[in-house]
A and B are shown apart, each in its own frame.
Chain A
Amino acid sequence: MRRMSVPEKLAVNKYDLDEGHPHIEVHEEVCREKCPDLACLFVCPANVYSEVNGKIVADWAGCLECGTCKVACPSDALYWVYPRGGFGVVYRSG
C-alpha cells in the first residue's frame, strides 16, 4: 500500500464533531514552565498537537480518544476528557 499521511488516514474515519465544544485544552503556561520534552507533540497517534507560532495547539477534531497524551503529560497541562456522549470518533469496525 502506498504511504499515507496521518491526516489522510484520519479522513477515512467517521467522526461526529461536537462543534464549539472542545474536549481538549492545553494550558500553555504550564507547558512552558514545567515540561522540557513536550511529549504531546510526538506521542499522539493522531498528531492532534502541534506548535503554531510558538504555541501548542490541539486540533481536537481528529482525536482518536486513546488518552495517551493525558498519561504522557508530566505536568497536568492538559485538560483532556472524552467528548460529550454520542460525539467524537465513531468506529465502524473497531
Chain B
Amino acid sequence: MADEKFDVIVVGAGVAGSTAAYLLAKQGLEVVLIERGPYPGSKNLSGGVLYGKVLHQVIPNYWEEAPVERAINNQVVTFMTEDASFNIDFKTQAFNRPPYNAFTVLRAKFDRWLAGKAEEAGAMLVPGIKVDKVLKEGDRVVGVIAGEEEMLAGVVIAADGANSFLAQEAGLRGKLPTDQVAVGVKELIGLPRETIEERFHLNGSEGTAYSIVGFATRGVAGGGFLYTNLDSLSVGLVIRLDDLLEAKLKPADIFEEFLQHPMVAALTKDGKLLEYGAHLVPEGGLEMMPRIFTDGMLLAGDAAGLGVNNGFVVRGMDLAIGSAIAAAETVVEAKAKGDFSARALGAYQTKLDGSFVMADMRTYARTPRFFQKERLYKTYPAMLADLMTQIYTQEAQPKEHVMTMARTSAKDCQVSLLDLARDMLDGARAL
C-alpha cells in the first residue's frame, strides 16, 4: 500500500469517521477508513442516545434501515438521595413521529451499519489495523504509520476518539487535563421486551431516558443514566475525573452502589448482565477544544473534544456527525483546489463555527463550570428530597405553609438563600 496515495485517510470508524468517509466517498474521493477494532463499533461505547436529526440530513429516513433501538419520547431527570428520588418526567408523542428526536442505539451494531454505508458509497474499510503515528514531512501530516506500514494521503481525518493520540502527536493539543474529561462506566442489562414495555409504560418502540444526579455518583461530580433499548437497558455513570481523584473512590464501587439503589434495583430487577464497559467522555466544553486543523490533518468528533452536557441531555454523537459534515465539505473543496495546507483546511473551523455544533458549544460554554458546583451533587438532591418528604408527611398536627417548609429544608441542608439565588442565576445562564 505504501506506493499508493489516497485522497483521504480517516482514522476511526465511529460515527464521526464513518459519516465523513461516507460523504467523501459519495463525492468520488478515494477514501480509506481505518478501524483498530475487529469491526466498526467493537471499541465504541456511548450512553446510547443519538439525537439523530443531523443524521437524517446525511441519510434521509435513516431509522428505516439503521439498527436503532427505541425512539426516546420520555425524558426523565431524577434527583437522587440514598433513599429518595424526585423525578421531572416528560413524555410527548411529538418525539415518536418521523423525523424522531432521538433513538437509543447500541454502538457495536449501529457503527457497523454506518461504516457499511461508507463502504457502499465506495470507501475502503480496513478493520483490525491500529494507526500508531501520523506520518510527517516537516510539520505537514502526509499520512499514517501502522506497524511497519506507511500509508499516504492528501489529508488525514483523525476521528480516533476522546483519547486521540493522533491529535496529541500532531501537536494539536497536549495531554488531557483531569478536569476536562469524565470516565463513563456502563452495564448493558438484558430483559425481555415485554417486561421493559410494562415496567416503563411504553407502547411499541417508545423509549425512556433517565438522567440522574446526586446519590448516583455518591456526590462526586457527574451523573447517572438509564436508557431503554428494545430488549435491554443501558445503565451507567459519567464521573468527572478531577473530582473522582479527590474523592479517591473506585468508579466500579460507586457504580455497584448505584445499581443497588432501590429505584435502579426496581427498574433493573431480574435483568441479566450482558456487557460491562468503560469509556472516556470529553466534558470540558468549549474550553477544552484543541486546534482542530493543521497542515494535512483535521480532527472530528470526540477527538475534537465535542460534547454537550446540560444536565438534561448528554450529547456527543450528533456533534460528531455535524463535525464530519463540515470536515467532508472542507476536504472536498481542498481536493478541488489541490491544496491541503492549514490555510485551505482552515475553512473547517469557519464551517464548524457556522454550524449548530459550535453554536451549541458556545451556548453551553458555561455549563462545565456550572457543573463544578458541589452543591448540585451533594446538597440540592437532599434538599429536594427533604422538602418533598415534608410536603407529603401528614402528622396529627397542623401543617406549615410550603414556603416555610422550603426555608426549613434549605436551612437543614445548610444552604443560604443567597447561595441558592446565586446558583439559580448561574444555572439559568449556564443552561
Q: What is the CA–CA distance of A45 and B175 in the complex, to the nearest angstrom?
A: 20
Is A93 touching B256 in the complex (CB atoms < 8 A)? no
Contact of B280 among A68, A88, A90, A93 (CB under 8 A): A68
CA distance A90 to B112 in the complex (A): 13
What CA separation (Å) do A10 and B189 show in the bound complex?
14
A67-B163 in contact given A43-B244, A93-B108 (Cβ < 8 Å): yes
| Closest A residue to B44 using CB positions | A94
The contact string, 1 if C-beta is below 8 Å from chain A, for chain B 253-279, is 001100110000100111111111111
Interchain CB contact under 8 A, A1 and B268 = yes
From B44, B130, B185, B250, give the contact of A84 (CB < 8 A).
B130
CA–CA, A89 and B279, complex, Å? 12
Interfacial residues of chain B within 101-143, with CB under 8 A of chain A in the complex: 106-111, 127-130
Indicate whether B401 reaches chain A with its CB closer than 8 angstroms: no
For A3, the chain B residues whose CB sits under 8 A away are 256, 260
User: Is A19 among interface residues, defined by CB-CB distance under 8 A?
Assistant: no
Interface-forming stretch among B34-42, B208-216, B350-358, B409-417?
B34-42
A84 CA to B127 CA, complexed, in Å: 12
Q: How far is the CA of A45 from the CA of B41 in the complex (A)?
A: 20
* B245 contacts A by Cβ under 8 Å: yes
A interface secondary structure, majority: loop
Please state if A13 and B278 are interface contacts (CB–CB under 8 Å): no
CA gap between A42 and B108 in the complex, in Å: 28
A67 to B55, CA, bound (A): 28
A26 and B163 CA atoms in complex are apart in Å by 19
B391 within 8 A of A: no
B289 within 8 A of partner (CB):
no
Q: Is the interface of B mostly helix, strand, loop or mixed?
A: mixed
For the complex, is B176 an interface residue (Cβ under 8 Å from A)? Answer: yes
Which chain B residues (216-270) contact chain A, with CB distance < 8 Å?
232, 241, 244-245, 248-252, 255-256, 259-260, 265, 268-270
**B45 and A94 form a contact (CB under 8 A):** yes
Quick check: is B406 within 8 A (CB to CB) of the other chain?
no
A42 and B175 contacting across the interface, CB-CB below 8 Å: no
Cα distance, A93 to B110, chains bound together (Å): 9
**Given A1-B265, A3-B256, A4-B256, A13–B280 Cβ distance below 8 Å?**
no
A72 at the interface (CB under 8 A from B): yes
CA distance A37 to B279 in the complex (A): 22
Query: In the complex, A67 Cα to B177 Cα: how many Å?
Result: 12
Cβ contact of A71, chosen from B181, B265, B269, B279, cutoff 8 A: B181
| Given A42-B248, A68-B241, A71-B241, A94 contacting B280 (CB threshold 8 A) | no
Residue pair B130, A42 in contact (C-beta under 8 Å) = no
Given contacts A3-B256, A39-B245, contact A68 B109 (CB under 8 A): no
B107 to chain A, nearest CB (A): 3
Q: Which 4 A-B pairs rank lowest in CB-CB distance, beginning with the nearest?
A: A94-B107, A86-B128, A45-B278, A94-B108
25 pairs from A and B in contact (CB 8 Å cutoff): A1-B265, A1-B271, A13-B276, A43-B251, A46-B252, A47-B250, A47-B252, A64-B279, A65-B43, A68-B183, A70-B163, A71-B175, A71-B181, A72-B178, A81-B165, A82-B130, A91-B43, A92-B274, A93-B107, A93-B232, A93-B275, A94-B45, A94-B109, A94-B110, A94-B277
